[in-house]
Amino acid sequence: MKAIIERHPWLPYVAPFALFVGLTGLQPYVPDGVTWVYPVKTVLTGLLILGMWRWLVPHGTWSALIAVATGLLVVVLWVLPDGIYPLLGETMIFDPYQYFSGPQAIVWIGFRLVGAVLVVPIAEEFFWRGFLIRWLVRPDFRTVAPGTFTWLSFLVTSGLFAAEHAHWLVGLMAGIAYNLLWYRTRSLKACILAHGVSNLGLGVWVLSTGQWSFW
């Protein structure tokens, strides 16, 4: 493994994200995928992150205050009245209580929260801010200082982050917010924290209001 990663240093930054997105793409094509794919991809991606952690470099300090503020701002933008944001495709509304009994639904929600708050922020931030935003500056991304700005890297990562979400406009705003945090703090840890706060806040909103379309 060490020799492979020495030849392909991007692999630890890309593989967890690629695994998570790949399994998400398979979900519509497997029987009852909506009920079990999320727990499976959460566990597998989490294990892959742990296996590759020694080769991942979470630059910077937490910069907790500005990171939390950025994360909460994204939550506010995301839960503005439904219908004001244009959609990229259709959103799937999955209410676990319609598929499972009470205890089973709670277990599924637990996997959803762990995935959204821990696994997704780490996998996505190492890919978007740890790798791609620097690779677009220079293919030897490890030589690019954290927080290095170019218009190309800023616009491409913001746009692709938007395309990853059905609510693409608020996805674009979130991508811009995380990028600006990256430039301001030069800290991947701050971006992971902000992303985790956003997803936790959104999860609390969904569970409090029953607006499952946000999940």
Q: What is the pLDDT of residues 12-53, one digit of tens each?
A: 999 999 999 999 999 889 888 888 999 999 999 999 999 999
What are 100-107's contacts with CB under 8 Å, separation 24+?
A: 100/35
**pLDDT at residue 110 in the model:** 97
DSSP secondary structure string, 78-110? HTS-TTSS--SS-PPP--GGGTS-HHHHHHHHH
Contact by Cβ (8 Å): 128, 21: no
Contact by Cβ (8 Å): 105, 96: yes
Work out the average pLDDT over 2-9. 89
> What residue spans define the domains of the chain?
58-214
Q: Which of residues 187 and 93 earns the better pLDDT score?
A: 187
Flag whether pLDDT at 89 surpasses 80: no
- In angstroms, the Cα distances linking 204 to 68, 71, 101, 120, 214 are 15, 13, 21, 16, 11
What burial class does residue 119 get, using C-beta atoms within 10 Å of its C-beta: 0-12 exposed, 13-18 middle, 19+ buried? buried
Per-residue pLDDT reduced to its tens digit, 105-137? 999 999 999 999 999 999 999 999 999 999 999
Per-residue pLDDT reduced to its tens digit, 167-194? 899 999 999 999 999 999 999 999 999 9
